[in-house]
């Protein structure tokens, strides 16, 4: 693809797995099974005095399992987010979740052994772990909150069809929502990402109309969305606070992010002490559009009206030029994303899909390898 021929369209997942069904997909599932079996075969060598070379060999097998896991996980997530109403994508997502839970249960013994290992041998093996040392050290911080192997397996199986999977109907519901907004006397039906463009419009009436359309549609689904959120939040609390004994839900999140509670509390306290800065900013912003009191609809009001419009290809060139001035290497990588079809740029869905998929990939595995 040469510059100037860029067109919007869906992303291609062929570089991950060439087809969503058939021999190509089945071979990836088979690779996952083989990788899990290879780790299972090393269970007997996991003793405190294990030789460094044998330990590094096991780490290599775990890395292979992690790559197979990420391949299936990433493909199924991206496929689902390309179209949250695609029943084949939903079915694949369910199959992948089940396969990954089974693979994790077959190999979780390594993680439990590592967490329970004495400090002296752990230090010795960490020195030989290379790039894996950080992950291994982080895993040991979960030791006080780790349950028995049987209990951990039950939790993994529960998550497949439990609260973790509640995110799927949530995204199916919200991904299908459309929003009516009147522009110049004509009613337009938009997706959420298209609608949100208008919360930054120079017209106060259009900004208000966009917000009211958003709130009205979500309000019509508030009962089912609230139930989904309730079950996810309750499951998070019960697993982490009740079962694992972590002091609070926020401490559970901090532990998973590898951030001490004290650091987060310092950040929150700094925000509390400086809330006046935000109040001053919004007070100034209220004067800019000439209103006495800043409304919710005015939070993202532009300071000036921008009338320029950019076709997709022109927008691509503008972004690539900015990248080149900042870092030619980043520009090269950005061009590769476009050339290989890894950008989902269909209007109205790309930003939601890409952002949510990334978040889901990061959040999927709880304190695991």
In three-state secondary structure terms, 185 is coil
**pTM for this prediction:** 0.79
CA distance linking residue 282 with residue 279, whole number of Å: 5
- pLDDT-flagged residues of the chain (< 70): 1-5, 289-290, 347-369
Q: Which H or E element spans position 179?
A: strand 179-183
Enclosing H/E stretch for 347: none
Torsion on CA atoms 287, 290, 293, 296, rounded to nearest 10: -100
What 3-state class would DSSP assign to 49? coil
CATH level 3 topology of 23-150: Butyryl-CoA Dehydrogenase, subunit A; domain 3 (1.20.140)
Kindly list the domain boundaries of the chain, sorted by start residue: 23-150
What pLDDT score was predicted for residue 289?
Answer: 66
| pLDDT given for residue 129 in this prediction | 96
Distance, in Å, from the CA atom of 158 to the CA atom of 33, rounded to the nearest integer, reads 20
């Amino acid at each position: 693809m040469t510059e100037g021929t860029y067109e919007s369209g869906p992303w291609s997942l062929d570089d991950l797995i060439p087809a969503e069904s058939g021999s190509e997909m089945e071979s990836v599932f088979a690779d996952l099974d083989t990788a899990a079996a290879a780790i299972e075969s090393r269970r007997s060598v996991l003793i405190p005095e294990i030789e460094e070379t044998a330990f590094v060999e096991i780490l290599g097998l775990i890395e292979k399992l992690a790559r197979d896991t990420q391949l299936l996980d990433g493909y199924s997530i991206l496929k689902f987010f390309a179209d949250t109403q695609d029943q084949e994508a939903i079915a694949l997502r369910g199959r992948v979740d089940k396969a990954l839970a089974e693979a994790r249960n077959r190999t979780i013994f390594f993680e439990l052994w590592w967490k329970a290992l004495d400090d002296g041998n752990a230090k010795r093996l960490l020195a030989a772990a290379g790039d894996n040392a950080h992950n291994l050290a982080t895993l040991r911080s979960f030791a006080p909150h780790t349950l028995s192997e049987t209990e951990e397996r039950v939790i993994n199986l529960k998550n497949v069809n439990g609260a973790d999977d509640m995110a799927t109907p949530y995204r199916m519901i919200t991904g299908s929502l459309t929003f009516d907004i009147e522009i110049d006397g004509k009613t337009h039906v938009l997706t959420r990402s298209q609608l949100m463009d208008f919360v930054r419009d120079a017209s106060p009436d259009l900004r208000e109309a966009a917000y009211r359309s958003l709130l009205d549609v979500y309000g019509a689904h508030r009962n089912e969305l609230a139930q989904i959120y309730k079950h996810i939040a309750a499951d998070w609390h019960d697993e982490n606070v009740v079962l694992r004994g972590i002091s609070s839900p926020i401490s559970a999140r901090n532990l998973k992010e590898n951030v001490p509670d004290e650091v987060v509390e310092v950040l929150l306290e700094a925000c509390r002490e400086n809330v006046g800065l935000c109040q001053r900013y919004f007070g100034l912003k209220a004067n800019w559009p000439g209103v006495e009191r800043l409304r919710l609809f005015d939070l993202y009001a532009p300071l000036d009206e921008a009338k320029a419009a950019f076709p997709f290809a022109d927008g691509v060139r503008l972004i690539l030029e900015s990248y080149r001035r900042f870092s030619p290497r980043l520009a090269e990588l950005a061009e590769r994303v476009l050339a290989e079809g890894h950008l989902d740029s269909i209007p109205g869905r790309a930003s939601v899909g890409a952002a949510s998929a990334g978040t889901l990939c990061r959040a999927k595995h709880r304190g695991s390898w």
